[in-house]
């Protein structure tokens, strides 16, 4: 029962902490009333944190979290006991539903200047002389460091000594309730995961199980953790490699499995097609069974990577998870994870963390990009939540290349952080040079053998273990003078019944090549497909299911029936078990070319056309032209990859008419990347690589940026601005629909999908329950394409998108002063496949945009 606080002078007197509200409550009738008090909410969050920690294996919990960790989580909102927050939340409630006395001369909007209530929490903990790191953990629980420099907890802005005394009383109550004192944090790494625990416990403690202040919360803690997905998995123990994967382990796989006996860093360098993924997964399985790890995060090199890796990962989980594992269905299906887990405030539809790429870091098992993992070590919004999600897991970094050296500063820091968080880090690569390997390990290395395992378990001495290289194969290499010859050769071979891969470096080039080839191929009875990253989830999964299966083992029985040409981008380059008879590839850095060649004659027992021969054609300019004018010679590829690295690579490949793999891999990589003095034009391109151009940052600038983003001090970067790659440009999510129609009488928007299906989007959140919102949002997220900024439709004001109700499903950015996130873009696809804005105007200022289910998102200049 809410009571009115009657102070002597409500404008100056402190309101007792147990009267102050932490939340509002959206009632079933749509009215906003008082929610939980600050005291109640803090105690709930503290108990959520305590119960969450109890679900960790004991040994890992004791290594990762200090005593008092739950108290740090509980005290996150003590700053809500302040006059500005009190008045803000009082005004948010419907007048007829609350009985709180107003405070005069209080302006809640001033909170933006000190980071809101989180800043007051930080200052309060500092004034109470809490141990190192604790005040900052409290201050950052919304993901960023509040601007409190020069301020004090007893400042009149925060209510003076009277309000500070109430905050201190609240802390004492929380200590007594939880039976804990302030935690002694031993390192920055521990501070990061404690901050992550605090934020996640806050999200869960703000969720549907605790919203109604009239409901008892004690029995809901376990249910809330289960609903959020924090259910410790159970395993089928004692399985053999052959049982899990269906074939016997190769020598290189057995060698890695024998080396991975606990947390530490392990590098496996081996040729393409040697089963590095399976070796890493089985090593992880053994650690999971012995409770030396809490889960697996499989980090792919880019978001371009095919979704097929999810199927391989899920096949592994199908075998190792116990049949009675209560979380089994959630773990195996990404949509189920989004639809059936309830993460609370920040993880709800429309929240910043209702996103598989982010929330996957908190799941026991996930496949994601290395970028999400890199941000765990960066000073970006909620970077510490990522660190918390990775702590204690097996983190597999797939396809780490020498060309990725520009991310080295961040990647090296991530590996250091993960080791401090008692993770097992397994790095997989076919193409590392000696210098890059030394930087990853952080110690001098000596072996030049290949394949090679470098093991650095715990604090033990680094070991370098050579393994047999397996069968060697010769591949013919040709660089045609005229690209038209390559087109004719691809058509000729496919007409014979061969399976042909054609790989371009940009989506635009792949689309253009597909249009050039498809009509002629159809006349010849040859199937032709296209695959890249700019499809909706629904379309991309359909295309991958058809084409990747045809080029993989499931399609072996179909190979004799028809020749095929699959045109694609880097999607076809990595983490895919596909097998082509002939390949044409746009020229790329040596690492990427070797990866692409790993899709050529991948399996000896693959049925092939009798005319097939192991050969790849590389579309490359002459070496002289390339060195003199690389941007003209390489075209769009020079904006995807460094011109200097392209030229260095071309020097190595230019005279090649064949090579033997894997024997020449080490030599090719070292020849491309060995540091050397340059002169003439090559010195100019090296200078641009280091110092940048007007189109992109140089390595030195990125390393400087990396050092800034890794620093504890300074402004927290928004995720949308966090640059983790050399050639990154900011991406926008574009929601593609056929029609959006406002229905004022029903207070909803009717959204027509490209399939013709209609969805109803209410304007008021209370019209759907939590599960219904998750289901609706998940369906809409499958209609999104990520595109470059310059290729996106024009921005629409946030208020306009909110008018359609889209803020209930998509994170549109911060609604007030923290305007740091990219906005969702929305486009309507007309009957001619052209994109229009939601107002019906042209979809782009300069170019024509279109979307077709075969071509994907297309920019016509």
Please name the residue ranges forming H helices in 206-240. 221-227
Average pLDDT for residues 743-754, to the nearest whole number? 96
Q: Are 393 and 533 within one domain?
A: no
The predicted pLDDT at position 378 comes to 82
The predicted pLDDT at position 209 comes to 93
Q: Residue 644 pLDDT > 90, yes or no?
A: yes
Tokens of 464: 């370098």
Tokens of 598: 């790993």
Tokens of 7: 């102070």
The predicted pLDDT at position 7 comes to 40
Q: What interhelical angle do 434-441 and 408-420 show, nearest 10?
A: 40
Q: Residue 8 pLDDT > 50, yes or no?
A: no
Q: Are 637 and 763 within one domain?
A: no
- For the beta carbon of residue 743, count every other beta carbon within 10 angstroms: 12
- For the beta carbon of residue 470, count every other beta carbon within 10 angstroms: 15
CB 579 within 8 A of CB 602: yes
Q: Are 292 and 145 within one domain?
A: no
Q: Residue 72 pLDDT > 90, yes or no?
A: yes
Burial of 423-439, coded b for 16+ CB within 10 Å and e otherwise, reads bbbbbbbbbbbbebbee
Burial of 57-77, coded b for 16+ CB within 10 Å and e otherwise, reads eeebbeebbbebbbbbbbbbb
The predicted pLDDT at position 143 comes to 85
Beta strand pairing call for 835-836 and 825-829:
antiparallel
In tens, the pLDDT along 771-816 reads: 899 999 999 999 999 898 889 898 888 888 999 999 999 988 765 4
Please name which of 71, 81, 89 lies closest in space to residue 24, comparing C-alpha atoms: 89
Q: Provide the 8-state DSSP code for 600.
A: B
Q: What proportion of the chain, given as a percentage, has pLDDT over 70?
A: 91
The predicted pLDDT at position 593 comes to 96
Q: What proportion of the chain, given as a percentage, has pLDDT over 90?
A: 66
Tokens of 686: 């090296």
- Region of poorest pLDDT, from 42-51, 584-593, 609-618, 714-723: 714-723
Q: Are 245 and 202 within one domain?
A: no
Please name which of 428, 415, 392, 451 lies closest in space to residue 309, comparing C-alpha atoms: 428
In tens, the pLDDT along 820-845 reads: 444 689 999 999 999 998 877 776 77
Q: Residue 60 pLDDT > 90, yes or no?
A: yes
The predicted pLDDT at position 413 comes to 87
Q: Is residue 4 part of a domain?
A: no
The predicted pLDDT at position 68 comes to 98
Q: Provide the 8-state DSSP code for 839.
A: T
**How far apart are the C-alpha atoms of 434 and 446, rounded to whole Å?**
9
Please name which of 731, 732, 719, 757 lies closest in space to residue 826, comparing C-alpha atoms: 732
* CATH number, domain with residue 623: 3.40.50.300
**How far apart are the C-alpha atoms of 377 and 617, rounded to whole Å?**
41
Q: Are 421 and 543 within one domain?
A: no
Q: Is residue 541 part of a domain?
A: yes
**How far apart are the C-alpha atoms of 92 and 86, rounded to whole Å?**
10
**How far apart are the C-alpha atoms of 279 and 396, rounded to whole Å?**
11
**How far apart are the C-alpha atoms of 356 and 367, rounded to whole Å?**
10
> CA 428 → CA 311, 425, 435, 774, distances in Å?
19, 10, 16, 35
Tokens of 702: 């990125």
Domain end (from 466, 482, 514): 466
Domain end (from 422, 450, 466): 466
Q: Are 479 and 452 within one domain?
A: no
CB 570 within 8 A of CB 302: yes
Tokens of 672: 């491309």
What's 136-157 look like in SS3? HHHHCCCCCCCCCCCCCCCCHH
Q: Is residue 702 part of a domain?
A: no
Q: Residue 819 pLDDT > 50, yes or no?
A: no
The predicted pLDDT at position 814 comes to 64
Q: Is residue 632 part of a domain?
A: yes
Residues near 333 by beta carbon (within 8 Å), at least 6 away in sequence: 314
Q: Residue 259 pLDDT > 80, yes or no?
A: yes
First to last CA, the chain: 65
Tokens 């949308």, residue? Answer: 720
Q: Are 641 and 563 within one domain?
A: yes
Q: Is residue 715 part of a domain?
A: no
Q: Cα dihedral sign for 707, 708, 710, 711?
A: positive
Q: Residue 522 pLDDT > 80, yes or no?
A: yes
At 748, which helix (H) or strand (E)? strand 748-752
Tokens of 509: 């080039």
Our count of domains for the chain comes to 4
The predicted pLDDT at position 454 comes to 97
Q: Residue 278 pLDDT > 60, yes or no?
A: yes
Q: Is residue 330 part of a domain?
A: yes
**How far apart are the C-alpha atoms of 141 and 341, rounded to whole Å?**
21
DSSP 3-state helix, strand, coil percentages of the chain (rounded to 5)? 45, 15, 40
The predicted pLDDT at position 243 comes to 97
The predicted pLDDT at position 548 comes to 86
Average pLDDT for residues 330-355, to the nearest whole number? 72
CA diameter of the chain:
96
pLDDT class for 715, splitting at 50, 70, 90? low
Residue ranges with strand state E in 242-301: 264-269, 296-300
Domain end (from 416, 438, 466): 466
Q: Cα dihedral sign for 312, 313, 314, 316?
A: positive
The predicted pLDDT at position 682 comes to 95
Please name the residue ranges forming H helices in 65-187. 69-74, 83-92, 116-127, 134-139, 160-178
Cis upstream peptide for 365 (omega within 30°): no
**534 phi and psi angles, rounded to 5 deg:** -100, 55
Tokens of 553: 């083992």
CB 709 within 8 A of CB 410: yes
- For the beta carbon of residue 860, count every other beta carbon within 10 angstroms: 11
In tens, the pLDDT along 841-859 reads: 776 778 899 999 999 999 9
**How far apart are the C-alpha atoms of 118 and 115, rounded to whole Å?**
6
Residue 684's domain comprises 473-691
Q: Cα dihedral sign for 140, 146, 149, 152?
A: negative
Q: Is residue 18 part of a domain?
A: no
The predicted pLDDT at position 42 comes to 98
pLDDT class for 307, splitting at 50, 70, 90? low
- Region of poorest pLDDT, from 76-85, 153-162, 187-196, 682-691: 682-691
Q: Are 208 and 146 within one domain?
A: yes
In tens, the pLDDT along 104-154 reads: 889 998 988 898 999 999 999 999 999 999 999 999 988 888 889 999 999
Residues near 359 by beta carbon (within 8 Å), at least 6 away in sequence: 337, 338, 341, 343, 347, 353
pLDDT class for 726, splitting at 50, 70, 90? very low
Q: Are 674 and 799 within one domain?
A: no
Q: Are 735 and 654 within one domain?
A: no
The predicted pLDDT at position 728 comes to 44
**How far apart are the C-alpha atoms of 652 and 666, rounded to whole Å?**
12
Q: Are 390 and 451 within one domain?
A: yes
Tokens of 458: 């715990």
Average pLDDT for residues 490-510, to the nearest whole number? 96
Mean pLDDT, the chain, whole residue set? 89
Q: Are 122 and 170 within one domain?
A: yes
Burial of 156-176, coded b for 16+ CB within 10 Å and e otherwise, reads ebbbeeebbebbbbbbebbbe
CB 640 within 8 A of CB 788: no
Q: Residue 725 pLDDT > 80, yes or no?
A: no
pLDDT class for 6, splitting at 50, 70, 90? very low
Q: Is residue 235 part of a domain?
A: no
**What is the spatial order of strands in the sheet that 731-737 belongs to?**
784-788, 731-737, 825-829, 835-836
**714 phi and psi angles, rounded to 5 deg:** 90, 175
The predicted pLDDT at position 326 comes to 67
CB 22 within 8 A of CB 92: no
């Amino acid at each position: 029962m809410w009571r009115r606080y009657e102070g002597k002078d409500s404008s100056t007197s402190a309101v007792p902490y147990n009267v102050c509200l932490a939340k509002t409550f959206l009632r079933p009738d749509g009215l906003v009333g008082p929610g939980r008090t600050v005291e109640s909410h803090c105690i709930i969050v503290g108990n959520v944190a305590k119960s969450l920690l109890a679900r960790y294996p004991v040994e890992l919990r004791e290594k990762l979290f200090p005593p008092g960790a739950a108290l740090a989580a509980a005290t996150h909102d003590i700053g809500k006991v302040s006059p500005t927050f009190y008045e803000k939340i009082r005004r948010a409630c419907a007048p007829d539903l609350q009985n709180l006395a107003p405070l005069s001369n209080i302006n809640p909007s001033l909170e933006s200047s000190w980071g809101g209530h989180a800043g007051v929490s930080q200052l309060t903990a500092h004034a109470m002389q809490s141990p190192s790191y604790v005040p900052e953990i409290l201050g950052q629980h919304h993901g960023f460091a509040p601007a409190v420099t020069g301020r004090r907890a007893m400042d009149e802005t925060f209510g003076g000594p009277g309000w500070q005394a109430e905050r201190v009383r609240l802390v004492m109550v929380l200590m007594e309730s939880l039976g804990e004192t302030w935690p002694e944090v031993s390192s920055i790494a521990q501070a990061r995961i404690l901050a992550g625990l605090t934020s996640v416990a806050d999200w869960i403690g703000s969720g549907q199980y605790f919203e109604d202040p009239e409901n008892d919360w004690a029995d809901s803690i376990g249910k809330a953790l289960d609903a959020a997905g924090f259910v410790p998995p159970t395993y089928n123990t004692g399985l053999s490699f052959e049982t899990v994967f269906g074939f016997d382990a190769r020598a290189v796989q057995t060698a890695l499995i024998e080396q991975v006996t606990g947390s530490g860093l392990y590098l496996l360098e081996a040729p393409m097609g040697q089963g590095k993924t399976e070796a890493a997964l089985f090593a992880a399985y053994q650690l999971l069974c012995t409770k030396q790890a809490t889960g697996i995060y499989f980090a792919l090199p880019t978001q371009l990577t095919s979704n097929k890796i999810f199927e391989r990962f899920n096949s592994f989980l199908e075998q190792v998870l116990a049949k009675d594992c209560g979380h089994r269905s959630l773990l195996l299906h990404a949509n189920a994870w989004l639809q059936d887990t309830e993460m609370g405030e920040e993880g709800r539809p429309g929240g910043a963390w209702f996103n598989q790429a982010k929330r996957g870091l908190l799941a026991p098992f996930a496949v994601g990009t290395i970028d999400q993992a890199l941000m765990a070590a960066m000073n970006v919004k909620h970077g510490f939540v990522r660190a918390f999600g990775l702590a204690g897991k097996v983190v597999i970094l797939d396809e780490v290349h020498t060309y990725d050296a520009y991310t080295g500063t961040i990647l090296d820091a991530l590996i250091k952080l993960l080791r401090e968080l008692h993770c097992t880090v397994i790095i997989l690569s076919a193409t590392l040079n000696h210098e890059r390997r030394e930087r990853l390990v952080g110690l001098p290395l000596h072996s030049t053998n290949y394949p090679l395992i470098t093991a650095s378990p715990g604090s033990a001495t680094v070991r370098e273990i050579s393994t047999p290289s397996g069968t060697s194969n010769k591949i013919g290499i040709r660089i045609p003078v005229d690209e038209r010859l390559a087109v004719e050769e691809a058509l000729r071979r496919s007409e014979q019944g061969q399976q042909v891969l054609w790989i371009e470096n940009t989506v635009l080039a792949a689309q253009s090549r597909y249009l050039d080839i498809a009509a002629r191929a159809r006349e010849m009875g040859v199937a032709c497909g296209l695959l890249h990253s700019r499809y909706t989830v629904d379309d991309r999964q359909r295309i991958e299911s058809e084409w990747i299966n045809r080029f993989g083992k499931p399609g072996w029985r179909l190979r004799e029936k028809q020749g095929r040409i699959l045109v694609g981008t880097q999607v076809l380059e990595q983490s895919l078990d596909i097998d082509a008879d002939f390949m044409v590839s746009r020229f790329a850095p040596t690492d990427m070319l070797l990866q692409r060649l790993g899709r050529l004659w991948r399996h000896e027992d693959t049925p092939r056309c009798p005319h097939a021969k192991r050969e790849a054609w590389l579309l490359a300019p002459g070496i002289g032209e390339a060195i003199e004018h690389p941007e003209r010679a390489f075209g769009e590829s020079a904006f995807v990859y460094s011109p200097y690295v392209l030229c260095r690579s071309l020097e190595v490949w230019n005279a090649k008419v064949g090579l033997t793999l894997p024997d020449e891999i080490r030599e090719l990589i070292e020849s491309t990347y060995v540091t050397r003095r340059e002169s003439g034009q090559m010195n100019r391109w090296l200078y641009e690589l280091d110092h940048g151009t007007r189109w992109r940052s140089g390595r030195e600038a990125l390393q400087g940026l990396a050092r800034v983003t890794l620093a504890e001090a300074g402004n927290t970067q928004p995720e949308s601005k966090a640059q983790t790659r050399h050639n990154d440009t900011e991406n926008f999510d574009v929601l593609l629909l056929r029609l959006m129609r406002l229905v004022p009488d029903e207070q909803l928007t009717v959204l027509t999908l490209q399939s013709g299906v209609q969805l109803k989007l209410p304007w008021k959140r209370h019209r759907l329950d939590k599960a219904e919102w998750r289901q609706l949002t998940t369906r809409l997220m499958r209609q999104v394409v990520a595109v470059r900024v310059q290729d996106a439709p024009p921005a629409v004001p946030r208020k306009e998108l909110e008018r359609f109700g889209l803020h209930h499903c998509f994170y549109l950015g911060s609604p007030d002063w923290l305007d740091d996130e990219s906005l969702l873009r929305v486009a309507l696809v007309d009957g001619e496949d052209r994109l229009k804005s939601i107002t019906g105007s042209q979809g782009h200022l300069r170019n024509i945009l279109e979307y077709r289910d075969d071509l994907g998102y297309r920019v016509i200049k």
